[in-house]
């Protein structure tokens, strides 16, 4: 199923609905804000200096964007160790309410899914199976323990989806943008477990999120999400490319090319045929 539903749920986490301009070098490639170039004539003191206006930074990276709904068409390539053809995805996000997704391969629908504040649902048309679960299943797929609907929406919006504060993170900047790195391991407590992460976030000079890296300090589990190639649509800047890398006990990679954005409302019917078999989440 487990292939198609797993892919579908992973994709719910990597589609982005809002970012701004990415920091770039002369070839158009995003640059790491911590890197320096051989032969760079800049004064070393200009690299990773403290940020003087922290209020402006936090104001820009924490306040969510305003939108009602957005439809995204994407071309998706997934690497999980099993063969999965290039997928055509339609993702519809209704702010604070739902994320709906339809996946096609070779012009045929192979899976559908929907996430709401109550949980996630997905169905695999090729095996006639479905799931109906809380967010524990998605956390398991991503090797983390903190994804709920609100954090999922923030990920989809290209917003900061982990808690950051001036007391817990070092904030620095250089010509390429901003970097936030956790001073101490960040404990994230859920009902079932407590995990500790080293967290690094990169932003461009316009406060746009470029990447988030979370490394579990007690296991090989690591999650990184990055965004690139932004443009403006309907007054909102959106990324054309999204990349997610999952490392650890499970490893996979998803590359998305967002080809079209639409802001009109659409119907998102979701129902499971009575002949489908439910997959129990363990």
Domains and their CATH numbers in the chain: 2-22+48-258 (2.50.20.10)
Closest CA to 174 of 135, 214, 204: 204
Instruction: Give me the pLDDT at residue 115, please.
Output: 93
Closest CA to 56 of 237, 212, 207: 207
Instruction: Give me the pLDDT at residue 141, please.
Output: 73
Strand, coil or helix: what is 45?
helix
Burial class (CB within 10 angstroms; exposed 0-12, middle 13-18, buried 19+) of 167:
exposed
Reported confidence tier of residue 281, pLDDT bands at 50, 70, 90 = low
Burial class (CB within 10 angstroms; exposed 0-12, middle 13-18, buried 19+) of 248:
middle
pLDDT digits (tens, 9 = 90+) for 94-149: 999 999 999 999 989 999 999 999 999 999 998 999 989 888 877 777 777 788 88
Strand, coil or helix: what is 10?
helix
**pTM greater than 0.85 (yes/no):** no
Percent of the chain with pLDDT over 90: 40
Strand, coil or helix: what is 269?
coil
pLDDT digits (tens, 9 = 90+) for 223-244: 899 988 878 888 887 788 889 8
On the question of pLDDT at 21 being above 50, the answer is no
Q: What is the mean pLDDT of residues 252-266?
A: 91
Dihedral pair phi/psi, residue 80, rounded to 5° = -125, 0
């Amino acid at each position: 199923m487990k292939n198609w539903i797993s892919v579908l749920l992973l994709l719910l986490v990597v589609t982005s609905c809002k970012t701004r301009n990415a920091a770039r070098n002369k070839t158009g490639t995003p640059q790491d804000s911590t890197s320096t170039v051989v032969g760079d004539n800049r004064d070393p003191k200009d690299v990773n200096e403290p940020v003087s206006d922290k209020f402006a930074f936090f104001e820009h990276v924490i306040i969510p964007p305003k939108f009602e709904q957005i439809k995204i068409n994407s071309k998706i390539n997934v690497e999980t160790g099993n063969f999965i053809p290039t997928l055509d995805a339609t993702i519809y996000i209704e702010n604070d309410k739902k994320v709906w997704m339809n996946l096609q391969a070779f012009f045929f629908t192979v899976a559908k899914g929907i996430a709401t504040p109550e949980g996630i649902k997905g169905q695999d048309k090729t095996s006639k199976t479905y799931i109906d679960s809380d967010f524990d299943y998605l956390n398991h797929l991503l090797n983390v323990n903190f994804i709920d609907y609100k954090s999922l929406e923030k990920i989809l919006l290209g917003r900061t989806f982990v808690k950051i504060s001036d007391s817990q993170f070092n904030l620095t900047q250089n010509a390429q943008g901003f970097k936030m790195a956790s001073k101490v391991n960040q404990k994230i407590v859920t009902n079932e477990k407590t995990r500790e992460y080293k967290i690094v976030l990169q932003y461009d000079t316009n406060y746009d999120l470029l990447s988030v890296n979370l490394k579990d300090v007690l296991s090989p589990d690591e999650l990184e999400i990055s965004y690139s190639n932004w443009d403006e649509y309907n007054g909102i800047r959106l990324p054309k490319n999204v990349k997610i890398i999952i490392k650890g006990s499970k490893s996979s990679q998803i590359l998305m090319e967002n080809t079209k954005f639409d802001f009109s409302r659409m119907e998102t019917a979701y129902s499971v045929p009575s002949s489908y078999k439910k997959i129990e989440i363990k």
